[in-house]
Structure 1
Amino acid sequence: MDKREAGRQVMREVLGEGYLERRDASTNSFNAPLRRFSEESCFGESWSRPGLARPVRSLLCLVMLTALGRTAEFRIHVGAALNNGCTPEEIQEAIYQAAVYCGLPAAVESFRIAEEVLRERGIEIA
């Protein structure tokens, strides 16, 4: 299997079949090169490495996306973290840790988005 197909398989497992279908349906000649790069490099290379378990990679993504303020990608990766077996408590702790190093406003926005995704998934928040 080449890196692109390996990456697409990881995307299927991490982000879900529905995400991949929506992504494929919206791929066009303008965004196709970047999407291929993502499939090959991000998922076919980085996410496929054996050195870290997928839940750890997910939590790292959440913290980095909080730091960068990339809310759309953050939303996607909250779902990926749940798909990878992260618990709501682990997601909460990762964002809480980010508050110290990335700033409270960034963490507040990430908490808000994470709560929305958890509710969308039917996960109770007490």
Structure 2
Amino acid sequence: MTDDDTQTGWTGGRDAFGDFAPGMVHYTDAVLFDEVWERNGLSKRDRSLVTIAALTALGKTDQLRFHLGFARSNGVTDRELEEALLHLAFYTGWPNGMSGTTVLRDVIEDDGDDESEQHR
């Protein structure tokens, strides 16, 4: 990234790790979210769905929790997420789909009923 490129100011890595693991923080904030997620080839909504598919296939529920919430903020509805996880269950294995659906339920419940309804 050059000085002329726009940066989002993403601080998720810094927020998660503080001063611990500065390399991980740098690559998460400056490369992954300031560069990769900002590329023009896919919308953020589509990137979210691709990321959810990959994390579900790998059974990475800790990261999936964040990305399900992020997908909601990128315009993916709860019903679409629910349907994507059902579809993924047949391609990634039923346990992965069930685990992803459990995480989605928790994300929606943690968000509160009023806000989650707007995503349906």
Question: TM range, normalised to the smaller chain?
Answer: 0.7 to 0.9
Secondary structure of the 1:52 match is coil
> Which residue identity lines up with residue 91 of structure 2 in the other structure?
Y
Count residues in correspondence: 114
Deviation readout 1:5-61 (Å, 9 max, x if unpaired): 72x53x46xxxxxx56732xx322x41111101222211221010111111111111
Bigger RCO of structures 1 and 2 (CA < 8 A, at least 6 apart): 1
Scaled by the length of structure 2, the TM-score of the pair is: 0.81
Residues 1:27 and 2:18 aligned together: yes
Distance 1:20 1:37 in 2: 8
Q: List structure 1 runs of 4+ shifted beyond 3 angstroms.
A: 19-22
Distance 2:14 2:101 in 1: 27
Structure 1 residue ranges without an equivalent (≥5): 13-18
Secondary structure of the 2:35 match is helix
The structure 2 residue matched to 1:52, chosen from 42, 45, 48, is 42
Distance 2:29 2:87 in 1: 29
Asked if the contact 2:13/2:24 (under 8 Å) is kept, the reply is no
Structure 2 residue ranges without an equivalent (≥5): none
Secondary structure of the 1:40 match is helix
Q: 1:45 to 1:22 in 2, by over 3 A?
A: closer
Q: 1:2 to 1:68 in 2, by over 3 A?
A: farther
Percentage of identical aligned residues: 30
Distance 1:75 1:57 in 2: 15
Residues 1:42 and 2:19 aligned together: no
Asked if the contact 2:14/2:25 (under 8 Å) is kept, the reply is no
Structural RMSD (CA): 2.6
Asked if the contact 2:64/2:100 (under 8 Å) is kept, the reply is yes
